[in-house]
Amino acid sequence: MASVGIARPLVSVRGLDGNSTGSNVALPAVFRTPLRTDIVRFVHTCIRLNKRQPYAVSELAGHQTSAESWGTGRAVARIPRVRGGGTHRSGQGAFGNMCRSGRMFAPTKIWRKWHKKVNIKQRRFAMAASIAATGVPAIVMAKGHVIDNIPEVPLVVDDKVEELKKTKEAVTLLKNINAWGDIEKVINSKRFRAGKGKMRNRRRCMKLGPCIIYKNDNGIVQAFRNVPGVTLMNVRHMNVLRLAPGGHVGRFCIWTNGAFRELDEIFGTYRRASSVKIGFRLPLTKVQNPDLKRLLRSEEIASVLRPSNRRCGRRSTQRKNPLKNPRVMARLNPHHSTLKRNKILEDERNVIKKLKKSEVGKKVVKKPVKKDVLKGGKVAKGAKVAQKRVK
Amino acid sequence: LWGIIRNNSCYLLKGNGQTYSREPNNLKSKNSFRYNGLIHKKTVGIEACKDGKGVVLRTRNPHAKGKPSKTYTQVELKKGGRKTLSTIRKVIRGNRYRKDLKMAAVRRASALLQSQKPVTV
């Protein structure tokens, strides 16, 4: 949306009952970071690889036999075969992948590169961008969170939340803020996972709900952790994987007062660099005012443009071919008609000329040519001429 | 914003070579910039009333930015076809509120009202 320079509106802090306490916080500058979903997606996919545990096939698999090929002449394939019993088993270093109980092709090794290194700058950019996306209600709604009745986005709650001990209190708070709808959505989405994950201790899955970001854990984690769908994060240790789950920005976040204020410290503002992240300044937008409509209507631009032709003449519904349609041709090329006329007149003149020439001949030809003439008998003068011409 | 949401939202439905968008304030359920219900400062939404009679007209308050609970004003229109449609037209035209959506709103409302009529055999 149109970000007017670096305007920082005030966000009011909500109390435990959901009503606004008196205090306000200026929106931290992080929320004005350009929303670079491409960077977020890239960083997300890379970072998600970093929690992987290696998997590999046993080194010895398929090699624990002493097998030798029987060679030729035995009417069997030349695959190394197990000694003794002679059952088809793969051999050491043999092409075991096609054999039953053989070694697989390219056995998986633990020294595969499991992790991906991401530049710090990119990681920080992604973090800032995903926080910024959290502050745009449209994006959060498009992600699927139910935030229709929330008092404000971003949602900031009084620090007393951090001291809650009981899940019951946590639930009451969420209901007071009208965030409970999102959690109901989570509860309704509990289902069995599709696929083999079921057999691998990942039987159930559900959607994600709000992410609660706090500054000091005085009980908040224990209070909220059993609420389905809720994720908890300390401001100082925030995770892109939680802020942009699936690589898609716009998770619904609930901030505590202290955490919200910390953001300016952690990420810095446009005026000062961050005190925590060394060498980090908030990324700038490429285009300060991306609102095209406004730009095109602004004085600076409109004064330079020619007045718009709203309706550049009616579009003709039918295009007429000038080569066939003389009127259209005349409209496009007025000289064409004179050219044409001249051509016609010239043609006529030529015709007349020809006629005259052939009339002289024609006159003779019209006279019945007697057989005598054809035989070469005495001919009238004109006839002679005609004969010549006829030839 | 549209650049982010256009290909990537929980409301997006793709299939059979068709693309739709299920968000609440989309008059044509079309996934397009103009009809999107989330992006614009002013949107028009028309839904059926919960009790099955009449239509709800929802408009968005352009000044309530970032306050989802206060963003929408709802009006229930229950007085019957002609009145409902003319109210919608007047609201949109009179307030110059998304005039480009006027016909879409009227059509959606009449479709909803039609579906609420008892089925005649």
The Cα angle at residue A213 between residues A211 and A214, in degrees rounded to 5: 150
Q: What is the DSSP letter of B30?
A: B
**Minimum CA–CA partner of B21 in chain A:** A142
From the list B1, B23, B71, the residue facing A1 with the nearest CB is B1
Distance CA A314, CA A317 (A): 9
Cβ B38–A178 below 8 Å, yes or no? no
Chain B residues inside the 8 Å CB shell of A153: 66-68
Under 8 Å CB pairs connecting chains A and B tally to: 55
| A233-240 own/partner pairs: CB under 8 Å, 24+ apart | A234/A259, A235/A259, A235/A262, A235/A263, A235/A266, A236/A262, A236/A266, A236/A276, A238/A127, A238/A131, A238/A213, A240/A40, A240/A43, A240/A44, A240/A47, A240/A123, A240/A126, A240/A127, A240/A130
**Radius of gyration of chain A from Cα atoms?**
45
Nearest to B61 by CA among B98, B30, B32, B86: B98
- Average pLDDT taken over every residue of chain A: 86
Length of chain A: 391
Chain A residues inside the 8 Å CB shell of B71: 137
Question: What does the pLDDT read at residue A365?
Answer: 53
What predicted TM-score, i.e. pTM, was given to this entire model? 0.76
Question: Strand pairing partners for A157?
Answer: A14, A256
Q: How far is B82 from chain A (nearest CA, A)?
A: 31
Chain B residues inside the 8 Å CB shell of A255: none
Tens digit of each residue's pLDDT (9 = 90 or more) over A244-268: 999 999 999 999 999 999 999 999 9
Tens digit of each residue's pLDDT (9 = 90 or more) over B59-117: 998 888 888 888 899 999 988 889 999 999 999 999 888 899 999 999 999 999 999 88
Question: What does the pLDDT read at residue A85?
Answer: 61
Question: What does the pLDDT read at residue A385?
Answer: 47
Residue A316 has pLDDT above 90, yes or no: no
Residue A223 has pLDDT above 60, yes or no: yes
Chain A residues inside the 8 Å CB shell of B43: none
Cβ B68–A249 below 8 Å, yes or no? no
Q: How far is CA A236 from CA A61, A69, A130, A201, in A?
A: 46, 63, 15, 31
Question: What does the pLDDT read at residue A118?
Answer: 95
Cβ B4–A151 below 8 Å, yes or no? no
The pLDDT of A223-228, averaged and rounded, is 95
Cβ A144–B10 below 8 Å, yes or no? yes
Q: How far is CA A378 from CA A165, A199, A363, A375, A381, in A?
A: 143, 124, 19, 9, 9
pLDDT: which is higher, A186 or A376: A186
Distance CA A8, CA B43 (A): 25
Residue A5 has pLDDT above 60, yes or no: no
Tens digit of each residue's pLDDT (9 = 90 or more) over A84-116: 665 665 545 455 788 877 888 899 999 999 999
pLDDT band (50, 70, 90) for residue A132: very high
Residue B65, Ramachandran bin (φ over 0: left; ψ between -120 and 50: alpha; else beta): beta
Question: What does the pLDDT read at residue A352?
Answer: 92
Mutate to test the interface with A, among B25, B38, B73 (most CBs of A within 10 A): B38
Nearest to A261 by CA among A92, A69, A26, A79: A26
Q: How far is A36 from chain B (nearest CA, A)?
A: 9
pLDDT: which is higher, A87 or A331: A331
Residue A378 has pLDDT above 90, yes or no: no
The pLDDT of A72-89, averaged and rounded, is 75
Considering only CB atoms, which residues of chain B are within 8 Å of chain A? Answer: 1, 4-5, 8-11, 23, 38-39, 65-69, 71
Question: What does the pLDDT read at residue A342?
Answer: 94
From the list A35, A150, A248, the residue facing B8 with the nearest CB is A248
Question: What does the pLDDT read at residue A4?
Answer: 39
pLDDT band (50, 70, 90) for residue A65: confident
Do residues A188 and A179 make contact, with C-beta atoms less than 8 angstroms apart? no
Q: How far is A265 from chain B (nearest CA, A)?
A: 23
Distance CA A181, CA A174 (A): 9
Cβ A138–B1 below 8 Å, yes or no? yes
From the list A136, A150, A178, the residue facing B1 with the nearest CB is A136
Q: How far is B80 from chain A (nearest CA, A)?
A: 28
**Minimum CA–CA partner of B22 in chain A:** A142
pLDDT band (50, 70, 90) for residue A235: very high
pLDDT: which is higher, B50 or A119: A119
Q: How far is A235 from chain B (nearest CA, A)?
A: 22
Question: What does the pLDDT read at residue A93?
Answer: 46
**Minimum CA–CA partner of B37 in chain A:** A138
Give just the sign of the alpha carbon dihedral A291, A292, A297, A299.
positive
Residue A37 has pLDDT above 80, yes or no: yes
Distance CA A175, CA A178 (A): 5
Cβ B39–A136 below 8 Å, yes or no? no
Question: What does the pLDDT read at residue B1?
Answer: 86
Cβ A142–B68 below 8 Å, yes or no? no
Q: How far is A133 from chain B (nearest CA, A)?
A: 10
Tens digit of each residue's pLDDT (9 = 90 or more) over A47-57: 999 999 999 99
Chain A residues inside the 8 Å CB shell of B9: 142-143
Question: What does the pLDDT read at residue A196?
Answer: 94
Distance CA A316, CA A110 (A): 71
Cβ A152–B10 below 8 Å, yes or no? no
Question: What does the pLDDT read at residue A96?
Answer: 73
Percent of chain A exceeding pLDDT 70 equals 86
Question: What does the pLDDT read at residue A387?
Answer: 47
Tens digit of each residue's pLDDT (9 = 90 or more) over B16-58: 989 999 998 899 999 999 999 898 989 999 999 888 888 999 9
**Minimum CA–CA partner of A149 in chain B:** B69
Task: Please provide residue A21's backbone torsions phi and psi, each rounded to the nearest 5 degrees.
Answer: -75, 175
pLDDT band (50, 70, 90) for residue A72: confident
